[in-house]
Chains A and B, each alone.
Chain A
């Protein structure tokens, strides 16, 4: 049990669909992250929230839209995705941003865009 949960675990969607990924952390952390993990590639940081405020947006296409209503919940809204967006989407949290704070990861959502 890592303390970070993600739903759904698997998602298949067409390019015209709209769906949302949900992440919840039960660790009392202040920072939350969305990552994309593609096969044999490094983890790609997408978004960072610290105390509910977005602090990083690493040139992510607008078809990905994050939402952080409170410090425990993080959403990733998806619309008009492309097949190359198929990947594992990982949510993580850390006590704070800064040196030595390790990130705790959820199990991920395996997304397939058809």
Chain B
């Protein structure tokens, strides 16, 4: 079966760095996406990785290791507005997104 695992909840301090991990087992691989979803709002696209390595975009970076079925999202210089759920999703061989249940990130002052 297809499976995406990510921690349910994480807590971090404003100004710090946090890493959210995602492991996956899917039928085929056509890239991995990270989305941010604030409570009561739509998910918004953060990053896409299809090749191994690190993609940096401002305060956010995303890493992929296809051989390990592993990705992480790195958030630097945390701000209170970063409090949200972070969703990991893998595109399978049928071009369908398989989603994790999301990681709720709580930022404390």
Identify the A interface with B (CB < 8 A): 2, 4, 40-43, 45, 48, 56, 90, 97-100, 102-108
Beyond contacts A40-B101, A42-B99, A102-B33: 13 other A-B pairs, Cβ-Cβ < 8 A, are: A40-B102, A42-B4, A42-B98, A42-B101, A42-B102, A43-B89, A43-B97, A56-B94, A99-B30, A105-B42, A105-B43, A106-B42, A108-B42
* Any A CB within 8 A of the CB of B73: no
Which residues of B are in contact with A by a Cβ distance under 8 Å?
Answer: 4, 8, 30-31, 33, 41-45, 48, 50, 87, 89, 91, 94-102
B99 close to A43 (CB less than 8 A)? yes
User: Contact: A40 with B8, CB < 8 Å?
Assistant: yes
Count A-B pairs with CB separation below 8 Å.
49
Do B50 and A99 touch (CB < 8 A)? yes
Q: Which residues of B contact A102 (CB under 8 A)?
A: 33, 45, 48
What distance in Å separates the Cβ of B93 from its nearest Cβ neighbour in chain A? 11
Interface of chain B, main secondary structure: loop
CB pair A99–B43 under 8 Å, yes or no, is no
CB–CB A45/B101 < 8 A = no
Separation of A8 and B83 alpha carbons in the complex (Å): 26
